[in-house]
Amino acid sequence: MTTSYVIDAVRTPRGRGKAGKGALSGLHPQELLAQVLNTLQKRQGFDAREVDDVMAGCVSQVGEQGANLARNAVLAAGWPNEVPGVSLNRFCASGLQAVHFGAMAVGSGAMDLVISGGVESMSRVPMGSDGGGQDGGNTHLRERVFQVPQGISADLIATLEGFSREDLDALALRSQKNAARAIEEGRFAKSLFPVKDPHTGSVLLARDEFPRPDTTAEGLATLKPAFTTLGETVAGPKGETLDQLALAAYPRAKTIRHLHTAGNSSGIVDGAAGVLLASERYVRERGIKPRARIRAMTTLGSEPVLMLTAPAPASQKVLRLAGMKASDIDLWEINEAFAGVVLQTTRALGIDPERVNVNGGSIALGHPLGATGAMLLGTALDELERTGKQTALITLCVSGGQGIATVLERL
């Protein structure tokens, strides 16, 4: 393996993921990703024919997001027919997994120039639209392990860890305040580009639409738990509720305290992102100055009922691969799928919370499932350059019990 270089990273603003209400809800997801491709080309000036592949994460690959969204986005961008595209799904880690696959391709010498990223239009293709649920309806698999929805898992984690509602809300408030400061100070400006109507050229959205900078602790405290009724849903073969099925795997919890709300869980949004990756050969021959390199990357499986605790061991694994310790990392991007996930990961790794999600996270900004991983990498890179720091670790929890982690090193 040689070095995998990051040449550039861009993203759309995140639009509210509500049909007819979000600023991006009128735009086909292929067009969202197409604008990412053309923005990267405009910024870097490469010939599109040089792109060996476009790799795009997308979770709900059905309807408008089916039919190999990545290839259709290439065509929608007006790029040459020779440029291929592939869509992939590792649930919430899809965008970062696309970056991993692209880094593997250029690092191995198999390819020279790759665009990796992701897209999710949650207003047009709502979460769960593929009908697969947690396990594709496989009753035989359920005899071995009965996976519960992520909200139940998040509340189970909070219960087992002893987190209070106040703990979760405090992290959510910090996310909102950090995001508000980042927006006010223009910290996202380097990667962010305005999304335009492909027919009229008018700007649809130029800044993130989801954050609520006026959020208060008092307001968060008034929100009702989001997953209480879900936990009471009968789903087991013997009439067990989802809570009972989760407790069967973790009886020491005794009862699940439902603490996560709409205010301390990730937001539903539309968005797309892309990362331009290049090989050593391409960088040398073109005389390009890369912004960063992928120092190490990994994925890891974990217990599928608790499901969301893999970011910590995945981070430990990638740190071993990089020859580093947690204390060596300057900035952490831990995806805010749920507040409890970030708190559990931070505690397990013993890291300084002030280094985590310094510009807010998915609670404030939203979580466009297939795109988030690539967005987090771009956010981390911008912040490393802004502050003159050197290393960042990006990690996400993944449905079904998986984790992903990447060490990024600024050049």
Residues designated catalytic: 92, 367, 397
Task: Give Cα 16 distance to the centre of its chain.
Answer: 16
Q: H or E stretch including 274?
A: strand 269-278
Dihedral (CA of 25, 28, 31, 33) sign: positive
Cβ atoms of 114 and 55 closer than 8 Å: yes
CA dist., res. 333 & res. 382, Å (int):
12
Cβ atoms of 401 and 304 closer than 8 Å: yes
CA dist., res. 208 & res. 153, Å (int):
28
Phi, psi (degrees; rounded to nearest 5) at 279: -80, 165
List C-alpha distances in Å: 125 to 2, 129, 165, 169, 327. Answer: 39, 6, 31, 29, 40
β-bridge pairing 391-398 and 331-334: parallel
Cβ atoms of 207 and 11 closer than 8 Å: no
